[in-house]
Amino acid sequence: MAVRLAAFDFLAEQVRLHGEPLSSASLRQGFPFRGQRIKLMGPQGIFKPAVRPDLPLSITTAPPDLRGGRPYDDGFSTDGSVLLYRYRGTDPRHPDNARLRLAMERRRPLVYFHGVAKGQYCAAWPVYVVADEPSALLFRVAVDDARHIGEPLTTVGEGTEDARREYITVATRRRLHQSSFRARVLDAYRQTCALCRLRHDELLDAAHIVPDTDPLGEPLVSNGLALCKLHHAAFDGDFLGIRPDCIVEVRRDILEETDGPMLVHGLQSFHGRQILSPRQPSQRPRPDLLALRYERFRESLSN
């Protein structure tokens, strides 16, 4: 538990200093602990540190490839209340699967690393293996609040622990998916605003073309645009639209407005210009989604 608590503290500090996602290099380098270096991640999804080889410290879902697939079909349940983590291989008795089962039996907290792009991971902790399903070749994993690590069972009312973990797991799923979408979109656009070419990562957002509340608003790169915060706000507020041919249209009243140089250089000058697009054709904005969003922009002009 001392190693696990030190790992949680290290991750909290890394997120505080650098934000998310974290680099795989820093996770594999790990942190010093009582004269040893504790790694947090290895080449396999179920990772056990050398200091305690009988119990895993972390589990990892690899980042998606350019087509959006992953080597292992990990994912959340339909309601998002539990992570479905696939066995290593198809043998329930594989040593890695057996070790993860032991972590479940001993109620040991783990770290979950969710790959959002090549070499980039978001972390959630503590997570617990709460069920084993050999017939489906998977474990069920729930996220909990770090404040409850080591809490005696007698202090938890019936059903309270499960309800708390379901709530936190749902919130974690939403955070991981948002982080994954942002990382993949920014990576596709080479950390560059599609309009103004700003390259400061801290000032960039991943904007949905069709909102994620819409049935067509899937968290795919082809439904995203890398935009600086100014142009993201302008896009969401219909100050500008993007046609299906990727040409920017600035609202007529904005074009005719007289203001300082920020209006000229920040909005008006982009009228009629083509946006930057990803190099991979599969990642470029889908024309049908741009058409749907552009129609909304056109409707806003008549309101």
pLDDT at position 156 is 40
Tell if the pTM clears 0.75, that is, is over it.
Answer: yes
Residue 276: which of 184, 205, 198 has the closest Cα? 198
Residue 71: per-residue pLDDT: 53
Give the up-direction half-sphere exposure of residue 301: CA atoms within 13 A in the CB hemisphere: 12
Round the CA-based radius of gyration of the chain to a whole number and report it: 23
Q: What is the pLDDT of residue 72?
A: 57
8 Å CB contact between 67 and 282: yes
First to last CA, the chain: 60
Identity of the residue numbered 216:
L
Backbone phi, then psi, for 152, in 5-degree steps?
-60, 140
Q: pLDDT 10s per residue in the chain (303 long)?
A: 999 999 999 999 999 998 889 999 999 999 999 999 999 999 889 999 988 788 999 999 998 765 555 555 578 888 889 999 999 999 999 999 999 999 999 999 999 999 988 899 999 999 999 999 999 999 999 999 988 886 654 444 446 888 999 999 999 998 988 888 898 899 999 999 999 999 998 899 999 999 877 777 678 899 999 999 999 999 999 999 999 999 999 999 999 998 888 899 999 999 999 999 999 999 999 999 999 999 999 998 876
Domains and CATH numbers, the chain: 2-185 (2.30.280), 192-301 (no CATH)
